[in-house]
Amino acid sequence: MSDITMKFDLPVPMRDGTVLMADVAWPAGDGPFPVLVERTPYDKNYRSTANFDTIDGLRAGFIIVRQDTRGSGKSEGEWMPMKYEREDGYDTIAWAATLPKSNGKVGTFGGSYTGSTQWSSAIAHAPELRAMAPLVTWSDPADGLMFRGGAVELGLNSWWGLMNALPHFLHTYPPEIAFPKMGQALGHFAALKERFWELPAAAQPFFVDLGMPDVGVARALEDRSTMDESRVDGHYEKLSVPSLNIAGWYDVFVQGSVDNYVGMRAQGAATRLIVGPWSHSSLNAGATLGEVGEVNFGLGMLSPGGEQISKINFDWYDHWLRDTPATSAHESGVLIFVMGANAWRAETDWPLARAVTTPLYLDEESALRWDAPESTDAASTYEYDPADPVMTRGGNLVMGSDYPAGPYDQRIAEERDDVLVFTTAPLELDVEITGRISATLFAATDGPSTDWVVRLCEVDSEGVSRNIVDGITRVHTEAGRIDEVTIDLWSTSILIKAGHRLRAHVTSSNFPRWDRNLNTGEPANVGTTIRVAQQRILHDAAHPSRIDLQIIPA
């Protein structure tokens, strides 16, 4: 270790003259070595070991670069999330390739925002970028980052915006203004459960007063094209950089990670997908001992295929950055953790070709059945009051410690009058659900707009009902009109054991994960008036409301 060389705060000039700062560590020896780069807004001094350990990387013979993104840490420039990452990524990759002892080949690493910066460099077509390994990151910012089904990702937006405002105040304001604002932000953090209720939801007064950008919601509502700055979807056909995608079934970006794999595979690019039962932070060192939410999936969940995530990454880079012979680690394919069975399984591709789309129908007497309804006139009704929404408990989310992600007991929500509950009979045989799940509702409301939320749960032999997947669709409609509404519940892999039951919830809120639809049709960045809505779900022969599962034949 004494032969390792480290240099701090090396200047990296961007094309517009802005200077970003990077820390660089060189392994022992003369090289040449490949270079691995992480570009982060979270301070380059923070060394997460979620999927990559710097010391292991140096021992494996990689030059390691960690850079503060524009307007972050010690880097110059404006802090505006996502806006500059493509151009800055291109320029940084070019700089990294010319470092002393470099072999000219660059790979990237990191998760969430720093996973997105990897895709940004690839989309910018940085020629020296030869491989990447994005962890828990998105594909379409309108599907999990800023919005979901038209609703605002309120929990993520408010929490992330506050978290990132704190270290960026001094980049934006002089100290005499920055420090009081930091104090205000800390107070808002402490009271965030109350702050979530402020309206308008996409321009909450407490956050607007801080004068800092959110994750991108406010800009997107003013100009939808700003979402293109962080969108991967739609760029696959122009990309060829090999990608190792790592995701979690209970992560807020799981579908984006899956979509990135599918998009690259469709273009014939080398790409792999690993999905564990993880939340957004499950892989952080010390964050879990096999538990996600209320379920212990076993320590094996931390070692995909029996290997550590860090080793999987280094094996991935070796071929693409050193020209070592390709192995099975470099073949396109999928490694998934099947919850319930609590085991890893390799698949040749996603979605699984053998999966069978199988509908579960909402029926009378709160039943969820495998056979289509026969009734000619069946419906269920409820009243949705935005002042009394269904509160978030678990799921695919990242929004602070008050609202942990994962599977949780949903029986409190099921007792509410505004949550319709439909349940199967106990299963006679084990049933594996692996794939992307969707719901179709034939629904009507009495106003110009509302939300439809569907959740799929597993009910165990003790009667505990835990969430598997859920989704939301915001509709703009005419009062009383019956709409056929599709709700994307995203992907999962779970074995439901014989004797257990499946359960569906239908409701109109999941707050504060998603902002409340006020039922008035006002945009989320101006709406403050609440209206109670009368909701109606049809589930008869002519209106077969259902959840479409992907069942793996036994």
Percent of the chain with pLDDT strictly greater than 90 = 91
Instruction: Give mean pLDDT, residues 307-334.
Output: 91
Task: Convert the pLDDT of each residue in 156-194 to its tens digit.
Answer: 999 999 999 999 998 889 999 999 999 999 999 999 999
Q: Reply yes or no on domain 5-143+229-347 having CATH 3.40.50.1820.
A: yes
Q: What integer pLDDT is reported at residue 328 of this predicted model?
A: 84
The alpha carbon torsion through 519, 523, 528, 533 (nearest 10 deg) reads 0
Q: How far apart are CA 22 and CA 96, in angstroms?
A: 10
Pairing of strands 33-40, 63-68: parallel
For 452, the 3-state DSSP assignment is strand
Q: What integer pLDDT is reported at residue 496 of this predicted model?
A: 98
DSSP letter for each residue of 72-107: STT--S---TTTTHHHHHHHHHHHHHTSTTEEEEEE
Neighbours of 457 (CB within 10 A): 26
Backbone torsions φ then ψ of 359, nearest 5 degrees: -80, 145
Query: Please, which pLDDT band fits residue 418 given cuts at 50, 70 and 90?
Result: very high
Map out the domains of the chain as residue ranges. Answer: 5-143+229-347, 154-214, 356-552
Location of structure tokens 């779970």: 494
Query: Please, which pLDDT band fits residue 330 given cuts at 50, 70 and 90?
Result: confident
* Residue 344 CA, distance from chain mean position: 21
Tell me the catalytic residues. 112, 251, 280
The alpha carbon torsion through 542, 471, 220, 129 (nearest 10 deg) reads -120
pLDDT higher than threshold 90 for residue 423: yes
Task: Convert the pLDDT of each residue in 295-310 to its tens digit.
Answer: 999 999 988 989 988 8
Pairing of strands 291-292, 271-276: unpaired
Query: Please, which pLDDT band fits residue 286 given cuts at 50, 70 and 90?
Result: very low
Of 391, 174, 156, give the one whose Cα is nearest residue 256: 156
Q: Reply yes or no on domain 356-552 having CATH 3.30.70.890.
A: no
R_g (Cα) of the chain, nearest Å? 24
Q: How far apart are CA 22 and CA 63, in angstroms?
A: 12
Q: How far apart are CA 482 and CA 345, in angstroms?
A: 42
pLDDT higher than threshold 70 for residue 242: yes
Angle at 299 between CA 296 and CA 304, to 5 degrees: 115
* Residue 204 CA, distance from chain mean position: 23
Q: H/E/C letters for each residue in 492-553?
A: EEEEECCCCEEEEEEECCCECCCCCCCCCCCCCCCCCCCCCEEEEEECECCECCEEEEEEEC
Token readout for 6 is 């480290």
pLDDT higher than threshold 90 for residue 54: no
Query: Please, which pLDDT band fits residue 55 given cuts at 50, 70 and 90?
Result: confident
AA letter at 147: F
The alpha carbon torsion through 398, 349, 547, 246 (nearest 10 deg) reads 0
Tell me how many helices (H) and strands (E) the chain has.
11, 25
Q: Which run of H or of E encompasses 321?
A: helix 309-322
Task: Convert the pLDDT of each residue in 139-152 to its tens digit.
Answer: 999 999 999 999 99
Beta-carbon contacts of 392 under 8 Å, excluding residues fewer than 6 positions away, are 155, 399, 403, 510, 511, 512, 513
pLDDT higher than threshold 80 for residue 52: no
For residue 84, CA distances in Å to 78, 91, 232 come to 9, 11, 15
Q: How far apart are CA 319 and CA 315, in angstroms?
A: 7
